[in-house]
A and B are shown apart, each in its own frame.
Chain A
Amino acid sequence: MKIIKQILLILIALLVIWIDLPENFKIKFNLGKIKVDQTINPLSINTKLFGLNIKKEFKTKLGLDLKGGSHLVFEADTSKISQNDIKDTLDSSRDIIEKRINFFGVSEPTVATSKAGKNYRITVDLPGVDNVDEAIALIGKTASLSFKEEVVDPKSGTTSAVLKDTGLTGKHIKKSSVTFDSQTGKPQVALTFSKEGTKLFADVTKRNINKPVAIVVDNFVISAPIVQQEILEGNAVITGNFNTDEANKLSIAINSGALPLSIKLIEQKNIGPSLGALEVKKSVYAGLIGLSMVLIFMIIYYGKLGLIASLALIIYSLISLAIFRLIPVVLTLPGIAGFILSIGMAVDSNILIFERIKEELRAKKDFSVAVRLGFGRAIDAIKDANITTLTVAFILFNPLNWEFLPQFGLVRGFALTLAIGVATSLFTGVVITKRLIEVFYKESK
């Protein structure tokens, strides 16, 4: 039974180390005649299990402030929408924005809605985007496509200047794509209608033979071709004076449909990738120096116990990193701060235990008895202190997304890493340190 437990522990340890391996780390050295040249990467799973596709890459996810990218906050104009429909409208807007961004080719964007007082917002995070202006233009575009026809005055027989809606809109488009005119080579946007749209379009063209039908995008007549005959196949082409790029954007906008409400950009943060990378490098470097100072201090002051605590601390850091990669937690600067604070608290657990053990030793107790008593005594303080911290982290994280509590990423990132760190340190500080002490001191006796 004990052997099984040991093997299990070793397996878990290996798994944790595997998850924690650095990304794209190149190893190249010669060991006698053996040449080693390999790139190390953390564990990534991509298998089929019981018909389920399991795909998971254990890599550190960095937030926008570290990786670079754009954080955009839009305020939605909900004045024209009835109170009951606001949530649905917002959600569908979010979906449309998501679609548009996907067309733009951004990896892992996040689009979220939030409410503050009476204001509704949509936040968009675009990691690693260089051309933000273009992205903003695309997101905010209210490309509402409609087809309009001329109105003929039944009395005079003249056409009025006002165009009439045909009832055929962007809703009825199944697909739009960019094609090129076979004669002029100019780009154009080809439309394929849905079933209902095909029928409507046939009606519209039948009504308007030898008359123009205007294609209107955002209240702007793009083109108004004269209908030659009734079109039954459900295809149409928008020709206009645009270049390939413009045609592309129009096609994307039509594809993703119109936003059901208008939005206004109220906040925009762009961090170039180089700045974030430099910050990470500096902070990691500083963190490592700080950590080694802590380890040296512990070893000098507590001797062998300090060595054990250092070992426990390293194990603690490895487990935390594995959890961050497992969930995955998006690491931001405040998130790193939360982690550092939790390291401090993990060290504290160890110091508390050691001071208690020393106390018992001063009371002339046997070492093994002192260890047991020391742990038992320290656990109360550790438990209370850490539960208080967890309570605070819980409130700051705002898991139910209540609108009167912080909903923005930075404070939440802080709370999340703090909570994970404290929970992990409860485990390592107590369980692992105790096992390590037992193992080390048994051997020395």
Chain B
Amino acid sequence: MVNFLRYKLIYLIISLSVISVGLFSIFKWGYSYSIDFVGGTNLEYKINKNITKTDLTKLFKDQKIKLIDMKINKNNLVIRTEALNEKKESLLKSVLEKKISGKITVLKSETVGPILGKETMNKTLTASLLAICGILIYMSFAFKGFNYAFSAVIAMIHDFLVVIGCYSILSHFWGAQVDTMFVTAVLTTMTFSVHDTIVIFDKIREYIKEEGKGNIEDYANKALTQTMVRSVNNSMTIIFMLLALSLLGGDTIKYFALTLLIGTITGSYSSPFVATPILVWLERRKNKR
């Protein structure tokens, strides 16, 4: 048996430093939001002639369209502007075609009004809160104790903070955008986090059932020792999958897979090193009283 819980201070320091770096990034740099959240137009054109950045900037200025971002990738143009209506968009396309005297194939064009984003956020938040309540209720029943459910939820919130913090860093340095895919990734992380915690708690529950109410810390250490191989192996399999997706998958899912990767790592970490120490602490306080 390894005495994992002896090092709880170290776990606390690791968690706190990762979360505080993330929170620092959130407050300092925030996020770059996709048009899903702030509204705007995304255009992706394939052109058969070349155009320079300066020419393009000038063209947008002439058309009085506010340009937010653009990338020229050989024959691919990726443009983000303020929200354009269909008429303005097709006008822009024809002007651009005239300018390069070539042909444009529309690969993608998206326009979102700004109201939708806030709604998406609010609804997802409501759903998450409901999901947390559901988890609390189910776990309280399954484990016959609120402390189990509570610790699992704390670990889940820990993972939530880690993921949104890391994403802010990704967003600042590599231009990852907050979009619906990101929201999905966060939800996935939270689901996985609880899933992973339950496996360890199940082991502790089993010891209590078999050996009666003994020293909870011993049980926890024993459970951690027993489940560690499984936790590492399980996380490895998911990490293989996600590494493949983030390195080889298409552009749209690159950051999505990366977020899930971060989520899986913190989700696996938090079960033994956040949820379990909290559970032990809570149970001991309960028993002392």
Q: A residues engaging B (CB < 8 A)?
A: 65, 73, 75, 116-117, 119, 132-133, 136, 265-272, 274-275, 278-280, 282-283, 285-287, 289-291, 293-294, 297-298, 301, 333-334, 337-338, 340-341, 343-345, 347-348, 351-352, 355, 359, 377, 380-381, 384-389, 391-393, 395-396, 398, 404-408, 410-411, 414, 418
Please, which residues of chain A bring their CB within 8 A of the CB of B135? Answer: 388, 391-392
Among B23-31, B114-122, B273-281, the one that faces the other chain is B114-122
Please, which residues of chain B bring their CB within 8 A of the CB of A265? Answer: 85-86
A385 contacts B198, CB within 8 Å? yes
Please, which residues of chain A bring their CB within 8 A of the CB of B113? Answer: 75, 266-267
* Chain A min CB distance to B142 (Å): 5
Please, which residues of chain A bring their CB within 8 A of the CB of B188? Answer: 337-338, 341, 414, 418
A411 contacts B243, CB within 8 Å? no
Give Cα A355–Cα B237 distance, bound, in whole angstroms: 15
Please, which residues of chain A bring their CB within 8 A of the CB of B284? Answer: none
Please, which residues of chain B bring their CB within 8 A of the CB of A132? Answer: 86, 109
Give Cα A347–Cα B244 distance, bound, in whole angstroms: 17
Smallest Cβ-Cβ distance to A266: which chain B residue: B113
* Chain B min CB distance to A409 (Å): 9
A301 contacts B250, CB within 8 Å? no
B185 contacts A301, CB within 8 Å? no
Smallest Cβ-Cβ distance to A349: which chain B residue: B234
A294 contacts B241, CB within 8 Å? yes
A408 contacts B120, CB within 8 Å? yes
Given contact pairs A268-B110, A347-B237, A388-B194, A405 touches B181 in the complex (Cβ within 8 A)? no
Nearest 4 A/B pairs, CB to CB: A290-B244, A279-B250, A381-B202, A290-B241
Give Cα A381–Cα B226 distance, bound, in whole angstroms: 14
Given contact pairs A275-B44, A275-B108, A333-B256, A298 touches B249 in the complex (Cβ within 8 A)? no
Please, which residues of chain A bring their CB within 8 A of the CB of B67? Answer: none
B237 contacts A297, CB within 8 Å? yes
Smallest Cβ-Cβ distance to B234: which chain A residue: A348
B191 contacts A418, CB within 8 Å? yes
* Chain A min CB distance to B94 (Å): 12
Indicate if B208 sits at the interface (CB-CB under 8 A).
Answer: no
Name the interface residues of B195-227: CB closer than 8 Å to any CB of A. 195-196, 198-199, 202-203, 205-206, 226-227
Contact with A along B135-146 (1 / 0, CB 8 A): 100110010000
Given contacts A266-B113, A290-B244, A418-B188, 8 further A-B contacts (CB under 8 A): A268-B112, A270-B108, A280-B250, A286-B245, A286-B249, A290-B241, A380-B206, A408-B120
Given contact pairs A266-B116, A388-B135, A347 touches B234 in the complex (Cβ within 8 A)? yes
Among A268, A385, A389, contact of B111 (Cβ-Cβ < 8 Å): A268
29 pairs across A/B with beta carbons < 8 Å?
Answer: A132-B109, A136-B86, A270-B108, A272-B107, A279-B250, A286-B247, A287-B244, A289-B248, A297-B233, A333-B181, A337-B188, A341-B192, A341-B260, A343-B241, A344-B234, A347-B238, A348-B195, A348-B199, A351-B233, A351-B237, A359-B226, A385-B194, A385-B198, A396-B187, A405-B127, A407-B123, A408-B120, A411-B127, A411-B184
A290 contacts B139, CB within 8 Å? no
Among A73, A337, A340, contact of B116 (Cβ-Cβ < 8 Å): A73
Please, which residues of chain B bring their CB within 8 A of the CB of A351? Answer: 230, 233-234, 237
Task: Classify the interface of chain B: helix, strand, loop or mixed.
Answer: helix
Please, which residues of chain B bring their CB within 8 A of the CB of A337? Answer: 184-185, 188, 253, 256, 260
Among B105, B199, B237, contact of A298 (Cβ-Cβ < 8 Å): B237
* Chain A min CB distance to B126 (Å): 5
Indicate if B68 sits at the interface (CB-CB under 8 A).
Answer: no
Smallest Cβ-Cβ distance to A354: which chain B residue: B230
Given contact pairs A387-B138, A391-B138, A274 touches B226 in the complex (Cβ within 8 A)? no
* Chain A min CB distance to B249 (Å): 4
Indicate if B1 sits at the interface (CB-CB under 8 A).
Answer: no
Indicate if B258 sits at the interface (CB-CB under 8 A).
Answer: no
B234 contacts A290, CB within 8 Å? no
Smallest Cβ-Cβ distance to A407: which chain B residue: B123
B181 contacts A334, CB within 8 Å? yes
Smallest Cβ-Cβ distance to B42: which chain A residue: A269
Indicate if B124 sits at the interface (CB-CB under 8 A).
Answer: yes
Indicate if B17 sits at the interface (CB-CB under 8 A).
Answer: no
Give Cα A133–Cα B184 distance, bound, in whole angstroms: 30
Given contact pairs A275-B108, A341-B188, A396 touches B131 in the complex (Cβ within 8 A)? yes
Indicate if B75 sits at the interface (CB-CB under 8 A).
Answer: no
B127 contacts A408, CB within 8 Å? no
A388 contacts B139, CB within 8 Å? yes
Indicate if B10 sits at the interface (CB-CB under 8 A).
Answer: no
B244 contacts A286, CB within 8 Å? yes
B116 contacts A267, CB within 8 Å? yes
Given contact pairs A133-B90, A348-B234, A266 touches B115 in the complex (Cβ within 8 A)? yes
Please, which residues of chain A bring their CB within 8 A of the CB of B13? Answer: none
B180 contacts A384, CB within 8 Å? no
A294 contacts B237, CB within 8 Å? yes
Give Cα A152–Cα B205 distance, bound, in whole angstroms: 92
Among A278, A340, A344, A404, contact of B126 (Cβ-Cβ < 8 Å): A404
Smallest Cβ-Cβ distance to A348: which chain B residue: B234
* Chain B min CB distance to A96 (Å): 20
A290 contacts B243, CB within 8 Å? yes
Give Cα A53–Cα B262 distance, bound, in whole angstroms: 50
B241 contacts A291, CB within 8 Å? yes
B250 contacts A408, CB within 8 Å? no
A283 contacts B187, CB within 8 Å? no
* Chain B min CB distance to A410 (Å): 5
Smallest Cβ-Cβ distance to B229: which chain A residue: A355
B199 contacts A287, CB within 8 Å? no
A289 contacts B195, CB within 8 Å? no
Give Cα A414–Cα B107 distance, bound, in whole angstroms: 25
Indicate if B73 sits at the interface (CB-CB under 8 A).
Answer: no
* Chain B min CB distance to A129 (Å): 12
B237 contacts A340, CB within 8 Å? no
Indicate if B77 sits at the interface (CB-CB under 8 A).
Answer: no
Give Cα A282–Cα B260 distance, bound, in whole angstroms: 18
Please, which residues of chain B bring their CB within 8 A of the CB of A75? Answer: 113
Indicate if B134 sits at the interface (CB-CB under 8 A).
Answer: yes
B180 contacts A411, CB within 8 Å? yes
B237 contacts A404, CB within 8 Å? no
